[in-house]
Amino acid sequence: MPGEKRVLLAAPRGYCAGVDRAVVTVEKALELYGPPVYVRKEIVHNKHVVRTLERRGAIFVDETNEVPEGARVIFSAHGVSPAVHAEARALSLKTIDATCPLVTKVHREAVRFADDDYDILLVGHEGHEEVEGTAGEAPDHITLVESPDDVEHVEVRDPGKVVWLSQTTLSVDETMETVRRLREKFPLLQDPPSDDICYATQNRQVAVKQMAGECDLMIVVGSQNSSNSKRLVEVALEYGSRDGHLVDYAEEIDEAWLDGVRTVGVTSGASVPEILVRDVLDWLAARGFGDVKAVTAAEESLLFALPTELRRDLKAAGQEAKKVRHDPSAIPGSGDGHLR
């Protein structure tokens, strides 16, 4: 009935195919080789995932030179630059590259356009691991553009040979505004051969856009260093949600946020296991928000194979290396991927 408390639950939400592949890569590596397995940077940007894998024997390091010579290291889903691969070879490290295939696609685009001597305008956030990896593919050709306001300061060698690429986890709307301004300045600006912003990032933003106007409060489950999670809060507020917050765990929710609230929207970033969303739903149900309605923006069925190096070793050990499948779109009661 009108006025009753309810929850709108976004679908899809949570794990994307690239994140699921990266997490399963670490899990399978620990099972196959035994701990410790080193991981350069956080495998995905989620506190719960990292802590869980640490308990199983993964050791996360910031730089390649922190890995003992000859040891095994996994590169995170965000990708690394050629310089990092060179460092690993110099240390005789056994590497497993868990870079998301959609990020690898952007790397290949950067190399191709650099080989054709284009100026590449990379839309993204300075310091983000994905941006560092992509920029490292062609540092002499890439200029970072962080926001629409940066466009006025961008200079290129030849306005007739310029292309834009982007970080995969950005706000679709802000990226398109940045590109619009770039095209005003450089009318011959070329587009990437295919969309760089990840399908999962876009789908999760579309779901939030559909929900936001009906929400008094949007709770996004995700970590502060997760670009796509932070963008979901921004999108929610931009599209009509009265309030919005990013939390790692249900216990971080402030009950004061519920004052005067009838409709709560719930979603999660692309690196968040479903169990954390269910904890939030349980927390809300205990406070009268037990009526949950799914808002479905898209269906996702993309599958990614595990990294080549891991598949080879699994096969040698007589184990099957199936493609990774995860369905984050089901409402409570569904599987939560692999981490508990």
Catalytic residue numbers read 130
- CB-based burial, 260-278: b 16+ in 10 Å, e otherwise: ebebbbbbbbbbbbbebbb
> Nearest 5°: phi and psi at 297?
-100, -25
Task: Output the six-digit token pair for 61.
Answer: 């390091």
Q: Alpha-carbon distance 35 to 29, whole Å?
A: 8
Instruction: Note whether 161 and 119 are within 8 A (CB).
Output: yes
Q: Alpha-carbon distance 197 to 131, whole Å?
A: 13
Q: Alpha-carbon distance 289 to 292, whole Å?
A: 8
The answer to whether the peptide bond before residue 148 is cis (omega within 30 degrees of 0) is no
Q: From residue 163, how far is each of 51, 119, 186, 190 by CA, in Å?
A: 39, 6, 10, 4
> Nearest 5°: phi and psi at 262?
-110, -35
Instruction: Note whether 327 and 294 are within 8 A (CB).
Output: no
Q: Alpha-carbon distance 124 to 126, whole Å?
A: 7
Q: Which residues, in sequence order, are bridge partners of residue 40?
A: 61, 75
Task: Output the six-digit token pair for 155.
Answer: 């200079």
Q: From residue 157, how far is each of 120, 135, 154, 184, 237 by CA, in Å?
A: 11, 18, 10, 17, 39
